Structure 1
């Protein structure tokens, strides 16, 4: 929030701080989202301050017009900000002014006339079932230390076999590991229970048998060679090695395994709402993108296999 620190008066600054506290503690936004929202609003306040020639006050915000917001958005676009980032900027502004309205501080119609930039839908690139299995099986072939190989296989198995984000897998503790379920802490601190299939459970058990460290109930499950918490960068590097060894495309990342989990479940008739719960998506619309992925793959198979394709 450095941009807004000198661009607003004390009262507006206090409202910004209260809004950020609300986003973090009540709405439980992810830390990176919270940081981005704060930065976006700070840049907006700096923009307004430049036009006004002084700190932004509540009176100035009451005079806010749609043209002011359009001018700010146009400036950000001229700085090569993409549509997705511009949509986030507008979301941050709307969130702040909605907060002011809920608190009875200020109500404005200026944002109601601003259209959200169109964001192109990029389909997640899933691996095929064969590629996903080969990726997991080949992990042992790239590492001479058995416990490190077992560790990496367990993490990669969790991404594909349980649909976890890499950050979620590396945040797991012994206490999160139950007989047939995992307690997963996702974005915004939301907790969900994810079934643990036997094949994935076996990779974790093998790792725990071979790991040279004693782990308490609250200790992170996956450790680096020096005993510290495993860095996601090491798993990303392992995936890079696997891509090279198996001839996989650059899109074959740990997160692509999570996409593959959802796509393959859907392809086998999995219920969309159940997949939403497993992935920890707040909105069903986020999960629905996988229906497009599955349809695209089906059409590709149809075109390749049909005599008239």
Structure 2
């Protein structure tokens, strides 16, 4: 009699043996590599009945069948992430492209085989190519969030392969801000620039702590009642910042003279970069226009501003980000001058 191959394999994984304590059923219903079941019975009949029951479970109950291997590739998971989560993010399209580039550079492995060592190897190559540790931490966070979001949505049931991989500890760089003299010099230079927008965009950033893109893309409807309402922000939350009557009047006049549709300004980033170059002001890499936001926050604190108010103005989700400016407050840690042991000795 010829048995089907599947039945032969099943028979190999099921056996009844006579032992000193009775009849032993030794079985692996899910096949080799699956969970093994062993149970001893007093009689051979009971053992055979149990063996038959195990066979029926394999053929009738899907929970007993071997789990199918997940053959989706990393790029496929990124596609799922984008379809069900990334489309709702303001930077979703850009983030998707970054993620796909990462997946391609890693070799686009089967997602179930992807692990921390693969990413660590990729990260090492990127660092050797000149990428900063801070940039690698961002890439790590992007890819880790893909698995976290898919797990929340029910499209990923295994552990996050990057969940236990630690990011690099990055030394905080000094936040560069402009002095009063530098601000005056810069504004004087930009006021005579050929670009009609750069001077006023810069004033908006210095007056409100806005990011350059937030100020540059202002619409007329966002300026009213003595304040600017920033809508398309990095955090996705709307925030309003009061402005002077003079700045509001200048914005309204500029819109009448140079407005394009609902937009108050045209693009002026290049004009700002060229203006900074003409002044000879040196700024750290990556802080060209962001120095205006740092300058607002720094002078706000040096002039006695409240750190919690600053957090709301800047739109930081966490106070930790805003605390970078706390050391500029006039009263910051001033107790150190009076409460140290040498001061106490002199007072004695």
Tell me the TM-score normalized by structure 1. 0.71
Consecutive unaligned residues in structure 1, runs of 5 or more: 1-7, 50-55, 223-228, 303-309
Consecutive unaligned residues in structure 2, runs of 5 or more: 1-69, 338-348
Counterpart of 1:249 (choices 282, 288, 295) is 282
Map Cα deviations across residues 53-110 of structure 1 (whole Å, 9 max, x no partner).
xxx334434xx3x433333333333333221122112112211221232233232254
Counterpart of 1:181 (choices 195, 210, 227) is 227
Counterpart of 2:119 (choices 53, 69, 87) is 69
Counterpart secondary structure, 2:228:
strand
Highest RCO, 1 vs 2 (Cα 8 Å, sep ≥ 6)? 1
Is the 2:218–2:264 contact (alpha carbons within 8 Å) kept by the matching residues of 1? yes
Q: Report matched runs for 1:3-18 at 5 Å.
A: 12-18=74-80
How many pairs align? 261
Counterpart of 1:132 (choices 179, 183, 186) is 183
Q: Report matched runs for 1:230-269 at 5 Å.
A: 230-241=267-278, 243-244=279-280, 248-251=281-284, 253-269=288-304
The question of 1:106 aligning with 2:157 is answered: yes
- Please give the root-mean-square deviation of Cα atoms over the aligned residues, in Å: 3.3
Please state how far the C-alpha of 1:122 moved relative to its aligned partner: 1.0
Please state how far the C-alpha of 1:298 moved relative to its aligned partner: 10
Q: Report matched runs for 1:1-309 at 5 Å.
A: 12-29=74-91, 32-44=94-106, 46=107, 49=108, 56-61=109-114, 64=115, 66-104=116-154, 105-108=156-159, 110-140=161-191, 142-143=192-193, 151-184=197-230, 185-187=232-234, 189-208=236-255, 211=257, 213=258, 216=261, 219-222=262-265, 229-241=266-278, 243-244=279-280, 248-251=281-284, 253-292=288-327
Is the 2:148–2:160 contact (alpha carbons within 8 Å) kept by the matching residues of 1? no
- For 1:110 and 1:59, the matched residues in 2 are separated by 9
- For 1:276 and 1:30, the matched residues in 2 are separated by 25
1:92/1:41 CA distance change after superposition, 3 Å: farther
Please state how far the C-alpha of 1:121 moved relative to its aligned partner: 0.7
Please state how far the C-alpha of 1:136 moved relative to its aligned partner: 2.6
Flag the structure with higher strand content.
2
Q: Please say which of residues 282-291 and 113-122 is displaced more in the overlay.
A: 282-291
Tell me the TM-score normalized by structure 2. 0.64
